[in-house]
């Protein structure tokens, strides 16, 4: 019996394009020129994991840079790498409770544990956090539906 999660029906790339393309701080990874912008970061990828997109919490800086891959979202905070595999997401909510002050997505993981994903950008009308949260919710549903 295989313990690996099934792949979603809709590709991660397609979900990412649909949900994140309009966020100014988000860039889809499209080749070597972007890899040069990430020099100095030890990529913590596992196996056949591929970098697909980048969200800059601090434009032009590497601190709390979100790395979206085909299997997970990763970020470094205070020198420690965090990872949330899409297949391990149980639930999400924004922090703090006021929508326009939201700066993080609290993700409850299957089994146990929680992570707080920093998402700092937005406008006077909306926060980037909600588009990223929608993307993560879709990935959670895709992995649940593919089992």
| Residuewise pLDDT in 10s, the chain (147 residues) | 445 555 556 788 888 888 999 999 998 876 554 555 565 666 667 788 888 999 999 988 878 889 998 999 999 888 888 999 999 999 999 887 788 888 999 999 998 899 999 999 998 888 999 999 999 999 999 887 665
Q: CB of 89 within 8 A of CB of 107? A: yes
Domains of the chain by start residue, with CATH: 12-145 (2.30.29)
pTM of structure: 0.85
Smallest Cα–Cα separation from 15: which of 68, 89, 65? 68
85, two tokens: 């595999």
């Amino acid at each position: 019996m295989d313990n690996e999660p099934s792949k979603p029906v809709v590709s991660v790339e397609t979900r990412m394009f649909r949900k994140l393309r309009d966020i100014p701080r988000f860039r889809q990874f499209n080749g070597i020129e972007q890899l040069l912008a990430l020099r100095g970061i030890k990529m913590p990828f596992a196996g056949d994991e591929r970098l697909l997109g980048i969200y800059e919490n601090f434009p032009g800086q590497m601190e709390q840079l979100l790395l979206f891959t085909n299997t997970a979202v990763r970020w470094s905070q205070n020198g420690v790498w965090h990872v949330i595999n899409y297949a391990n997401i149980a639930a999400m909510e924004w922090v703090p409770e006021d929508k326009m002050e939201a700066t993080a997505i609290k993700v409850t993981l299957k089994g146990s544990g929680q992570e707080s994903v920093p998402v700092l950008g937005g406008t006077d009308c909306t926060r980037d956090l909600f588009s990223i949260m929608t993307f993560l919710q879709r990935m959670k549903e895709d992995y649940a539906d593919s089992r």
